[in-house]
């Protein structure tokens, strides 16, 4: 017997309607390429999203067509999120930091019909325009006064494109399984793969994000997403924040600028900021140097890579800011686990609480987790056993766009293999010890590169650290620590290695240290281990 409840589809347009009605006067502050401080309200942004929907309706598009964006975090990008997905098209966000070949591959694979582009990325597209012949037109995200000269064909100005349209639009009643957005993985192995989100998965993920032990979003929050709208929907922030009615502060092109981020946090009273560890390094370096304190910030959600203990400690002890580590991936919309203190653990010592906070978090309701051994057998959550981490749930991809089962990413019993190796403790806290492909295999045992990196980051002279496996005649591989020194600080190889004593097993201590000026980063700000391994491919470890 079925229940007798309404079968209302979960649609992104319903967030727009809710937000405009209940939180229409809440502010959105943006740094953009054409305005250092643009202010509008949620209500205005939704009206403009409807103008955009009307304009799109004249382009001869059909449901499911892909419309791309290459843009920073600002109000116009947010309008596109709603205008495009709400109308039944697929909003394909593209990472501008990808290489030209990857951009060409992605745009052609997605069969993008139009591209919304920030003026500063126009030259990027000009350079590859003849390799993306199927794109019918480009809409530059600015007004007529700031339109760049360009050789691109069929170019429109965003403000003119939407300007004459009505702000009345009846959102179509779509099936909730309709595709809404597309994001390609970074393609660290092989070609990038497209993850195709739908309305239902997006809404469920946003609902889950609101929970107190996840992001804990309320209408009283002021949220600064330093996670890009061009990657995994900025962790779902455009949806969850509009559900909650919080104020949004968009950093535009200032994402990696510690001083600018501090300025925004201070002037706009930001209570919650989200980003990968690298951007917070820039912020903390700035506050340290300038003698500033993050007085207004309440919590910071940090994920996308392991969060060093020293960073959590600096946020907590210098700024009284709670760091919530999160774990997830593009294929998971992305949130799968978040680290908050579970009932019964509040009384741990400050040091033990720091140890706890270095873990990737507990799985949230809606994302099932399991760890399995090489034979696919489920492992105990005993805080010791480590294995391949697999997930299942309504906001996890069931396949990749146009790959139909050929990626080998799912198990026969329907779980997604994350490619991460993890340990889960009896309380359910998970520690990511490595990517399957980054794990260091030494003498038949595994060494966690992440744990070594976190340890190294605890040394005051270390600004950034990465550990890779280097070929070794006896042990197969041994860890090499690659370090970027903090400004005005020095540390010798011997001091660095001595720092590991007593902190990790003796045989885990890196076999050597290399000092470099900078580490290669991926487009999302993570250390690019593939590139680092290439750089150190012929590295000779000392005997």
Q: Are 249 and 270 in contact (CB under 8 A)?
A: yes
- Options 141-149, 267-275, 367-375, 417-425: segment touching ligand ADP (CB under 6 A): 417-425
Q: Which residues are catalytic?
A: 185, 331, 441, 446
Residue nearer to ligand ADP on the CB measure, 47 or 454: 454
Could you give the string, one character per residue 425-454, with x where binding to ligand ADP holds by CB under 6 A and - elsewhere? -------x--x-------------------
Binding to ligand ADP, residues 180-199 (CB under 6 A): 185-186, 188
Identified binder of ligand ADP from the candidate list 141, 181, 227, 306, rule CB under 6 A? 306
Binding to ligand ADP, residues 32-71 (CB under 6 A): none
Q: Are 253 and 120 in contact (CB under 8 A)?
A: yes
Identified binder of ligand ADP from the candidate list 300, 409, 449, 524, rule CB under 6 A? 524
Please count the other Cβ atoms lying within 10 Å of the Cβ belonging to residue 461. Answer: 17
Binding to ligand ADP, residues 478-517 (CB under 6 A): none
Residue nearer to ligand ADP on the CB measure, 34 or 464: 464
Task: Find the helix or strand (DSSP H, E) in which 534 lies.
Answer: helix 529-535
Please count the other Cβ atoms lying within 10 Å of the Cβ belonging to residue 379. Answer: 17
Binding to ligand ADP, residues 351-380 (CB under 6 A): 360
Judged by CB under 6 A, does residue 424 bind ligand ADP?
A: no
Binding to ligand ADP, residues 266-305 (CB under 6 A): 303-305
HEC-encoded secondary structure of 142-181: CCHHHCCCCCCCCEEEHHHHHHCCCCCCCCCCCCCCCEEE
Identified binder of ligand ADP from the candidate list 85, 300, 325, 333, rule CB under 6 A? 325
DSSP letter (8 states) at residue 332: G
What is the SS3 assignment for 326? strand
- Options 26-34, 280-288, 311-319, 326-334: segment touching ligand ADP (CB under 6 A): 326-334
Assess whether the previous peptide bond of 410 is cis (omega < 30° from 0).
no
Please count the other Cβ atoms lying within 10 Å of the Cβ belonging to residue 42. Answer: 25
Give the residue among 253, 255, 225 at the shortest CA–CA distance from 240. Answer: 225
Smallest separation, CB 233 to ligand ADP (Å): 11
CA–CA dist 308, 65 (Å, integer): 41
Sign of CA dihedral 504, 510, 515, 520: negative
Judged by CB under 6 A, does residue 418 bind ligand ADP?
A: yes
CA–CA dist 118, 317 (Å, integer): 39
Judged by CB under 6 A, does residue 396 bind ligand ADP?
A: no
Judged by CB under 6 A, does residue 250 bind ligand ADP?
A: no
Binding site for ligand ADP (CB under 6 A): 185-186, 188, 303-306, 325, 327, 329-330, 334, 360, 418-420, 432, 435, 522, 524, 526
């Amino acid at each position: 017997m079925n229940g007798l409840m309404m079968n209302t589809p979960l649609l992104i347009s319903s967030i727009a309607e809710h937000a405009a009605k209940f939180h229409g006067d809440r502010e959105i502050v943006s740094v953009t390429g054409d305005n250092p401080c643009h202010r509008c309200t949620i209500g205005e942004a939704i009206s403009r999203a409807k103008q955009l929907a009307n304009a799109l309706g004249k382009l001869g598009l059909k449901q499911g067509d892909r419309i791309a964006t290459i843009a920073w975090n600002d109000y116009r990008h947010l309008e596109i999120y709603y205008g495009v997905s709400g109308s039944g098209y697929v909003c394909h966000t593209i990472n501008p930091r990808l290489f030209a070949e990857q951009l060409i591959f992605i745009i052609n694979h997605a069969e993008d019909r139009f591209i919304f582009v920030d003026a500063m990325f126009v030259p990027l597209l000009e350079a590859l325009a003849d390799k993306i012949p199927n794109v019918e037109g480009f809409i530059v995200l600015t007004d007529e006064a700031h339109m760049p000269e360009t050789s691109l064909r069929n170019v429109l100005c965003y403000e003119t494109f939407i300007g004459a349209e009505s702000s009345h639009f009846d959102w179509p009643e779509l099936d909730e399984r309709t595709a809404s957005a597309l994001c390609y993985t970074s393609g660290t192995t092989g070609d990038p793969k497209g993850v195709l989100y739908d309305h239902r998965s997006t809404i469920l993920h946003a609902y889950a994000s609101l929970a107190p032990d996840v992001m804990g979003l309320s209408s009283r929050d002021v949220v600064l997403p330093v996670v890009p709208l061009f990657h995994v929907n900025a962790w779902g922030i455009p949806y969850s924040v509009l559900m909650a009615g919080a104020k949004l502060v968009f950093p535009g092109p200032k994402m990696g600028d510690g001083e600018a981020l501090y300025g925004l946090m201070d002037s706009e009273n930001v209570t919650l900021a989200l980003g990968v560890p690298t951007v917070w390094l820039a912020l903390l370096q700035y506050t340290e140097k300038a003698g500033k304190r993050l007085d207004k910030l309440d919590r910071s959600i940090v994920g996308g890579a392991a969060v060093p203990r020293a960073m959590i400690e600096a946020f907590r002890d210098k700024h009284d800011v709670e760091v919530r580590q999160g774990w997830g991936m593009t294929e998971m919309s992305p949130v799968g686990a978040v680290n908050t203190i579970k009932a019964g653990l509040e009384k741990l010592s400050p040091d033990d609480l720091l140890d706890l906070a270095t873990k990737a978090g507990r799985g949230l309701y809606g994302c099932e987790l399991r760890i399995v051994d090489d034979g696919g057998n489920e492992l105990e959550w005993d805080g010791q056993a480590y294995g391949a981490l697999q997930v299942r749930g309504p906001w996890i991809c069931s396949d990749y766009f146009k790959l139909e089962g050929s990626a080998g990413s799912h198990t026969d019993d329907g779980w997604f293999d994350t490619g991460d190796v993890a340990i889960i403790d009896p309380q359910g806290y998970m520690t990511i010890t490595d990517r399957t492909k980054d794990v260091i295999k030494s003498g038949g045992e595994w060494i966690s590169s992440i744990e070594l990196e976190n340890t190294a980051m605890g040394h005051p002279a270390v600004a950034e650290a990465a550990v890779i496996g280097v070929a070794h005649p006896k042990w197969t591989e041994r860890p090499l620590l690659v370090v970027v020194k903090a400004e005005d600080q020095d540390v010798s190889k011997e001091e660095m290695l001595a720092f590991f004593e007593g902190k990790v097993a003796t045989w885990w201590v890196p076999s050597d240290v290399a000092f470099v000026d900078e580490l290669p980063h991926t487009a999302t700000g993570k250390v690019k281990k593939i590139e680092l391994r290439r750089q150190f491919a012929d590295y000779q470890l000392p005997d």
